[in-house]
Copies of this chain bind each other. A is one copy, B any other.
Amino acid sequence: MDYQLSLERAADIAAVAGLLQIGTELGVDRILDSGDTFSAADLAKVADAPLEGVTEYLNALLAAGLVTDTGVTGQFRVSLDYPERRYEAGYVCWALTANNPFIENVREFLADRDSAARAYRRDSRRVAVSSRWIGDRGFYPDIIDKLNAAGVKRVVDLGAGAGGLLIRWLSQDSTRTGIALDISAAACAAAREAARQAGVDDRLEVVVRSIESLVDDSSQINGADAILASFVMHDIVQDAALSQAVLSSCRHALKPNGFMVVVDAVSYAQHVRERKFSALFTYVHASFMNVHLPPEQEWRTKFYIAGFSKVECVPQVVPGGRLFVAIP
């Protein structure tokens, strides 16, 4: 049988996920993900860990074919297919490692969800890293295509996390500016650091605040050409009044010809390409986080109720995801 079609592809995907998750725990994902050349000593320094142990880890990456020699002794770089392998690992690390506190304690969630939810929380870094690995290839490109096609110059990203999407977009054109909002101070600190490393920190404003707060104060989003929100609206979507108020604030804040791009998940998508991941995503949000995802039509209706006049919906590469473009 063709190896690409064989069931042992799962062993590859699992192994890469395990190895890359170990990398993020050591903090060396920053070097690996950068694509730059590096030495074992570079990894040990970033990890702040003993060189011997880090070298063993590097040897495993080499044996796995995730890292290769550069021709210069002691200098390495990730393999050509590393971005693809990391994208695949993103799904696995999100499903099992990021959600591990839920999965291991599912019995307690079933017995008493509210008290279990207080006791067992996900590690926000593990959620953010795996989500970024998925997003990098799963929906960032589609959003950036939309922004570029419209020629927009000023973008606000709601729930921007570590700012990966905006930083990529800003790096393409020095006349662009952006604002990244996120409720997590740690995510915002990571976004500032990443923007500095990418040399776009003078054009990216990073603000710690919730999307709910836009209802009372929309000054920071006023005049945006586009407002983005990736997998963050589902946190407030069950509160009809709140989600209407937030979307309405966004609509009013947009420049003429501006638009919103919302990427989010629908409940139990049934296409064969997406039904499995969508099932886990929907179940995890409902049973562990009390977030009940709307079906596609209900998402559309939310935009219309908030006063948008036109809503396009594109099925996303990310299984169960949809990209909505809402026009005032």
Contact = CB atoms under 8 A, between A and B. Distances in A.
Interface residues of A, number: 77
A121 interface: no
Given A22-B106, A25-B104, A273-B3, A283 B96 contact: no
Contacts of A295: none
A293 to B, nearest CB: 12
A218 to B, nearest CB: 36
A193 interface: no
A40 interface: no
Contacts of A6: 273
Contacts of A21: 96, 103
Nearest to A50: B110
A7 interface: yes
A152 to B, nearest CB: 29
A60 B91 contact: no
Interface of A: 3-19, 21-22, 25-26, 47, 49-50, 53-54, 56-57, 59-61, 63-66, 84, 87-89, 91-97, 99-100, 103-107, 109-111, 137, 268, 270, 272-284, 286-287, 317-319
Contacts of A57: 283, 287
Contacts of A286: 56
B110 A279 contact: no
Is the contact region of chain A dominated by helix, strand, or loop, or is it mixed? helix
Contacts of A100: 96-97, 100
A91 B276 contact: no
Contact of A277 (B15, B111, B137, B276): B15
Taking the full assembly, how many copies of this chain does it contain?
Answer: 2
A4 B5 contact: yes
A120 B103 CA distance: 18
A26 B281 CA distance: 18
B88 A7 contact: yes
A63 to B, nearest CB: 4
8 shortest interchain CB distances as A-B pairs: A53-B110, A10-B88, A64-B279, A60-B283, A14-B95, A18-B95, A14-B91, A15-B280
Given A9-B9, A18-B95, A96-B17, A56 B283 contact: yes
Given A14-B280, A15-B277, A18-B96, 15 more contacts: A3-B272, A5-B5, A9-B9, A10-B87, A11-B276, A12-B277, A14-B17, A17-B95, A53-B287, A56-B283, A56-B287, A57-B287, A63-B279, A64-B279, A93-B96
B96 A282 contact: no
Contacts of A273: 3, 6, 8
B103 A97 contact: yes
A317 B277 contact: no
A88 B13 CA distance: 10
Nearest to A134: B11
Contacts of A7: 84, 87-88, 137
Contact of A14 (B8, B26, B96, B275): B96
